[in-house]
Structure 1
Amino acid sequence: MAALDLLGRRWTLRVIWELHRRPAPIGFRDLRRHCDAMSSSVLSTRLTELREAGIAGRTPDGAWQLTPLGTDLVTAMGPLLDWSRTWAETRAGADQGH
């Protein structure tokens, strides 16, 4: 599976972001609660895909966390996050001008 194919799937980036935001591994139910309206089946599928890609993994007690590769991915996405903030500020300024 190509990385961009995986990252482009609905909810994938949200799952990665929520795993990144947690200071410790998180259980499935708690992770789902943080992912708003995501269904259990979609979350399960995304976690399986992320595990198979080496981006997320499970602890011995079954909780989920990012792997070192997943942490590297979040770091690599930093410039995109910076760009998105600039874009949002630009759009907000454009919307106020109209």
Structure 2
Amino acid sequence: MARKTVSQSVRGSTTGRPIMVLLDILGQRWTLRILWELRDAPLSFRALRQRCDQVSPTVLNDRLKTLRELDLVQREDGTGYRLSQAGEELESTLLALNHWAEKHWAGR
């Protein structure tokens, strides 16, 4: 997958606005799960794959490549993958969304 930029149209939008690019990326299968699993600590490829219910290695590689190109995930020698500074900033937004979902939809 080619890197998405602000000027490109994405699924559901011809404008290429940053929020639409972000929602397009986050809407791809496994992307949110990968970010979620990396929220606490770096993980090796194998550990990340196990936490993502044995997602295929090809799909995991593709998603990690995209997330690295977007500077949301970084690869570190010896520890595997971790959230970048931008990824950590996004994490706080995702945690707020998680809090909202638990508050409004828990037990439904």
TM-score with structure 2 length normalisation? 0.75
Number of equivalenced pairs: 89
Alignment pair present for 1:4 and 2:23: yes
Segments of 4+ moved more than 3 angstroms: none
TM-score with structure 1 length normalisation? 0.82
Give the deviation of 1:62 after TM superposition.
6.3
Q: Which moved more, 1:1-10 or 1:56-65?
A: 56-65
Greater RCO (CA < 8 Å, at least 6 residues apart): 1
Hey, what's the Cα distance between the residues in 2 that align with 1:30 and 1:89? 28
Structure 2 unmatched ranges of 5 or more:
5-20
Hey, what's the Cα distance between the residues in 2 that align with 1:80 and 1:47? 22
Structure 1 unmatched ranges of 5 or more:
92-98
Hey, what's the Cα distance between the residues in 2 that align with 1:55 and 1:12? 11
| Aligned position for 2:106 | 89
Hey, what's the Cα distance between the residues in 2 that align with 1:27 and 1:15? 12
| Aligned position for 2:57 | 40
CA RMSD of the aligned region, Å?
1.5
Of Structure 1 and Structure 2, which has the larger fraction of its residues in helix? 1
Q: Specify which of 51, 65, 68 is matched with residue 82 of structure 2.
A: 65
Q: Which has the larger radius of gyration?
A: 1
